Amino acid sequence: MTKPLLNTPDKQTDSLPGLFLRYRAEIGTALRQAITPQNSSKEAIAVYDMLRYYMGWADTEGNPIVATEGKYLRPTLCLFACQATGGSIEQAMPAAVALELIHNFSLIHDDIQDQDETRHHRKTLWAVWGIPKALVAGNVLRVVADFSLEELIRRGVDAETALGVASLLTEAYLEMIEGQYLDLSFEGQSDLGMQDYLGMIARKTGALIRCAFTMGALIGSGDKATANAFRSSGEALGFIFQVRDDVLGVWGDEKTTGKPVGADIRRKKNSFPVVHAMSQAKGAEKQSLLDIYRQDEVAEGDVGRVLEIMDRAETRGCAHEMAMEHGQDASDALESVELEPSARAEIEELIQFLVVREH
């Protein structure tokens, strides 16, 4: 029996696990190479300047800068799984790059759909260049991701495995888009059940995270059983990531998340805290929640009322418990896989980080 991962939600750390730092520089270099125009006209190059801005490498004029970048979670998981199962970073890098590009393609479109004007403490693409150009920029990233996978065979990955990896990614980002559609269709629904919510996040967030672990293990081992074990583990990691993200969307520190406390309540987002509170509240409290979420806008005083109801429903603690359970699932799924002790320890460290992360 594996030991419990964590006992309380208040033992938190802002530092990234070592495996994130190990791959970060190489991922950044590979991404910059991928988002470099090839045989493009002067006019077409402008879209790549937009993308470099979005990635945090340039200002709105295209001048190089140092700014906040993402955690590179998905490419990191891919590279780690490949190395842990006997492969090399060089072999898996095209897949890792493709994952991060698809992830950012989804974020660009998500920003438009949610009308979010900031991400990573800077203006989003549509907020700077308008919706039409932002849509095109997002689509460019999706196509560049597909091109990236062509590098797999040139780096020594056999054709059958390369084809399998490409199929996995296409399957995953189709699920991701389906999940985004579900998320949009759920807006305004006050009777959303927990199973509806979990099914949505399994697609919208979980698909690419699951795919990252699966692709890396397939490239590294060439063994479907090993890849399937990592798939199950990655699926659990996806649940942890989104549930924790939803917690941060309500209770996160503004200095680290860039959003004020209660941000997702103001947006009337159907996140874990809201779905849980709706399912647990009774009588006057349930009616109060329904009345608040039927309004066009959530007033500041109503945000406090929702937070009070969530506190009484012990929503934050239940979210932590769910994350813990999925953390155990992520760990248990890999028990049958032969891994070096150091690799297994890093997986445990990764799980702990995802359960309590603050950003």
CATH number at residue 337: 1.10.600.10
Structure confidence at residue 5 (pLDDT):
42
Residue 29 lies in a domain: yes
- Separation of alpha carbons 255 and 45, rounded Å: 35
Residue 339 lies in a domain: yes
Token pair 């590979």 in the structure block, residue: 30
Average pLDDT of span 323-346: 97
Token pair 């209660």 in the structure block, residue: 262
The DSSP secondary-structure symbol of 258 reads S
Residue 12 lies in a domain: no
- List, for residues 32-60, the tens digit of each pLDDT value: 999 988 777 777 889 999 999 999 999 99
- List, for residues 66-114, the tens digit of each pLDDT value: 887 889 999 999 999 999 999 999 999 999 999 999 999 999 999 999 8
Structure confidence at residue 258 (pLDDT):
63
Structure confidence at residue 78 (pLDDT):
98
Structure confidence at residue 228 (pLDDT):
98
The DSSP secondary-structure symbol of 2 reads P
What contacts 345, CB < 8 A, 6 or more positions away?
none
Alpha-helical runs (H) found in the chain: 18-34, 42-54, 73-84, 89-114, 125-129, 131-148, 151-154, 159-186, 194-204, 206-221, 224-251, 254-257, 263-266, 272-280, 283-294, 300-312, 315-332, 341-356
Residue 261 lies in a domain: yes
Question: How many structural domains compose the chain?
Answer: 1
Residue 13 lies in a domain: no
Residue 74 lies in a domain: yes
Residue 311 lies in a domain: yes
Token pair 């006050």 in the structure block, residue: 190
Supply the range of the domain harboring residue 49: 18-356
- List, for residues 190-205, the tens digit of each pLDDT value: 778 999 999 999 999 9
pLDDT above 60 (res 1): no
Find which of 15-24, 93-102, 116-125, 284-293 is predicted with most confidence, using mean pLDDT: 93-102
Residue 9 lies in a domain: no
Structure confidence at residue 188 (pLDDT):
77
